[in-house]
A and B are shown apart, each in its own frame.
Chain A
Amino acid sequence: MAGKLSLIKILIALTLILLCSTAVSAQQSRQQVAILLSDSEQAYLKPVSAFSNEIGMEVQVYNLQGDLRRDPRLMDKLLASRPSLIFALGAKAAYAAKLWTHQHQEIPVIFAMVLNWQKYNFLKGQDNMSGIASEVAPGIQFLNLSMFVPTARRIGIIYSPEHSREIVVLAREAAALLKLELREHPISSPAEFKAAYRQLASQVDGFWLLNDPFTYTVENMDWMQARCIKDRLVCIGQGSNLAEIGMMLSVLPDIDNIGTQAASMARNILRGQLPKDVGVMESLGTRILLNQRTAARIGISLSAQALGMATEVME
C-alpha cells in the first residue's frame, strides 16, 4: 500500500513538473518584441522592416500617433503583451518607453532616430535604457576625410559654444585619435561666420561643418561652398544637401542600417548583455556622398578605389 502511495506521489510530482515546464515553454514561445513608434513617419518604415525581419521573434508594432495622450490605453496594451524588449523610434517613443518601463525595468529598451538624444537624459535613473545615436560621430567624418584626402591634416571648425560645445569635445578626442589638428573658432551669432572663416582659411586644409544653427544657414552654406572652391579647401559635413550644393564630402548615417544594428543589439541584450553596458552606440552604418566635380575643382584627384568606397558619387 505504502509503495502504491509513493508511486502516486511521484507521478503527481512528475505531472506538476511537466505542467510547469509546458507553461514556461508556452510563455517563452509567445515571447515577443514591441516596436513603439512616435508617429507614422515614413523614415521609420525601413528600420521597422529590417528589425522585424532580423530579430527572429514575433513583433508587435504600437504607434503613439504623435501624442502620448492620444490613446490612453496604449501603455496598458503594450505592457499586457509582456514584451521581451521595446524598440522605440523617435524622441516621443523613447520618452514613452522610458516612462512606461519605470516600474518595469526588467523590460530592456533600445531607442533610435532621436536627434540630440543627449538632451533628453534617457539613460539617467534607469538601467534598462540603451540606444543608437542619430548623428554620425565626428570621428567617422574625420576618418572619411583622411581616407579621401590623406593630405588634409589641419581641420577648421566654426561653432557656437551655446549649441555645439559637447560635439566639439568629441571632435577633439577623435582628431587626437586620428592625429589630426583641429583649429577652432567659436562664434556667438551667424553674422560672425564669414569673418571666422577668413581668419581660419589660411591655417587649415579643410573645414568640418557642424549642424549648428549659427553656422548652418542657407546664406553661410552658399557662401562657404563658393569660398572653399576658390580657396581650394576640402569641406565635409553630414547634411545630404551639402555634397549636392557643392561641398566635397558628406557622411550621413545609413538609416536603412539602423534596424539591422538594433536587431543585433536586441539579440545581445536578450542573451544577457546588460542595456546599461550597451549604453548609446554610435550609428555604425554610413552613407558617403562624394562630389567628384568639386574634388576636381579644388585639385584633388580621386582614384578608382576612392570612388568605389563612396556610396554615391556626384559627377
Chain B
Amino acid sequence: MIRILFVILLLVLARPVSGLAVEPVDFYFYFPDSSQVNLSQLKREMDRFLAKAGFSVRFQPFAHKIDFDNKLKSGRPALVLLPEWYYQCNGRELGLVPLLTPLRHGRSDYTKLLMVRKSSPWKLTDFSGRTVAMTTMGTDNGEKVNRALFDGRKLDLLKNHIVNISKDADAFFAVALGHVDAAVVCGDTLSTVGKLDKKLVEMLEPLIESNPIPMPLLCIMSGRLDPAGIEQIKKIFMAHNGGSDSPAIMEMLHIDGWQTFSN
C-alpha cells in the first residue's frame, strides 16, 4: 500500500504542469545580444505581462552563460528563451523543444556589425591579428563563430583574437575606447546607444555586416507543460502580432511579433 502511495506521489510530482495551475512554472531567459541589460526591469515586465494573461511564471533572466548553464541543467524550467546557437549546441540533449521565434521588424533574424574606430587603420582587406570583442556563441570560438557570422564574406575571424564578453554593450564600449581593435556588435545595441548619445556611435564605423543570425527561441522543456499550457503560451505571445499596442515587454526586447518555430 505504501509503495502504491509512493508511486502515486511520484507520478503527481512528475506530471506536466499547466500555466493555469496555481503553482507558477519556471521561465528562464538568456540572450547576451539584447540591449536590455536591466534584468530586474525585464523580470518585472515579463511577470506583469504573463500574469495579466492568467499565466503564472517564475521568470528568471540570466546575464552570464555560466549561471544559465548551471541553472538550466539543475532547474529544468518549463519555458526557456535562449539564443539559437545555444539550442543547437545543447537543446536536444537538455530536452528543449522550440515553440516560437520572436520577430524584429517582421524578421526572424538579425545581424551584427564588425565595428572599428573611425580613426583606426584597420581595413577589411587585411583584417588579421586584431583583438575583437564580442558576446559568446558557445565554447568553440573561432570556427563556429566564423561559420555562423561571416561564412562567404570577406572576413576570416579565425585570423584574429576573439575576446568574449557577457553583454553586447560592453563590446561597444571596448571598441569605442580603443581597449580592443574591433567589436562585433548588434545593430540594435548601436541604435539604442545612438538614441542616448549620437556622438558615441559616430566615433565608429562598420567594416562588414554579418550573415543573418536567427533570433532567439522560446522553447518548452519536454514533459514540463501539458498541451493546454503549451497552447495557452502560444496564444498569449501571438495575440499581440500586428497590434499597435505592444506590451512593454515586447518593446523592451525590441520584438514586434512572434511566429511558430519551423526548421
Contact = CB atoms under 8 A, between A and B. Distances in A.
Nearest to A138: B177
Interface residues of B, number: 45
A141 to B, nearest CB: 10
Interface in A52-96: 53-54, 56
Interface stretch (B136-144, B146-154, B217-225): B136-144
Contacts of B213: none
B199 A281 contact: no
A257 B166 contact: yes
Interface in A207-235: none
Contacts of B177: 137, 139-140, 143, 174, 177, 282
A306 interface: yes
B170 interface: yes
- Secondary structure dominating the interface of A: helix
B196 A147 contact: yes
Interface string A273-315: 1000000011011101000000000000001111111111100
Interface in B226-247: none
B161 A268 contact: yes
B10 interface: no
A265 interface: yes
Interface stretch (B14-22, B49-57, B58-66, B74-82): B58-66
A304 B161 CA distance: 35
A49 B66 contact: yes
Interface in A116-153: 137, 139-140, 143-144, 146-148, 150
Nearest to B133: A284
A205 interface: no
A183 interface: no
Contacts of A50: 64-66
Q: Which of A147, A178, A310 is the most central at the interface, judged by chain B CB atoms within 10 Å of its CB? A: A147
Nearest to A286: B170
A284 B174 contact: yes
A256 B170 contact: no
A154 to B, nearest CB: 15
B179 A137 contact: yes
A181 interface: no
B196 A309 contact: yes
A273 B66 contact: no
Contacts of A140: 173, 177
A288 B39 CA distance: 12
B69 interface: yes
Interface residues of A, number: 48
A177 B199 CA distance: 11
A311 B37 contact: yes
6 contacts: A46-B64, A50-B65, A53-B66, A150-B197, A268-B161, A285-B170
Contacts of A39: none
B166 A259 contact: no
Contacts, number: 137
B164 interface: yes
Contact of A284 (B40, B41, B180): B180
Name the 9 nearest CB pairs between A and B, nearest first.
Answer: A139-B177, A268-B161, A150-B197, A50-B66, A282-B179, A264-B163, A264-B164, A308-B36, A257-B166
Interface of B: 35-41, 63-67, 69, 131, 133, 136, 139-141, 161-167, 169-171, 173-174, 176-180, 192-193, 195-197, 199-200, 251-252
Contact of B140 (A56, A137, A174, A305): A56
Contacts of A179: 199
Given A56-B140, A309-B35, A261 B179 contact: no
A260 B252 CA distance: 26
Contact of A305 (B67, B141, B196): B196
Nearest to B160: A268
Contact of A264 (B162, B167, B173, B197): B162
Contacts of B178: 177
B37 A310 contact: yes
Nearest to A302: B196
A281 B37 contact: no
B165 A284 contact: yes
> Looking at A260, A273, A288, which has the most chain B CB atoms within 10 Å of its CB?
A260
A250 to B, nearest CB: 14
A254 interface: yes
Contacts of A260: 64-66, 136, 164-166
A305 B189 CA distance: 10
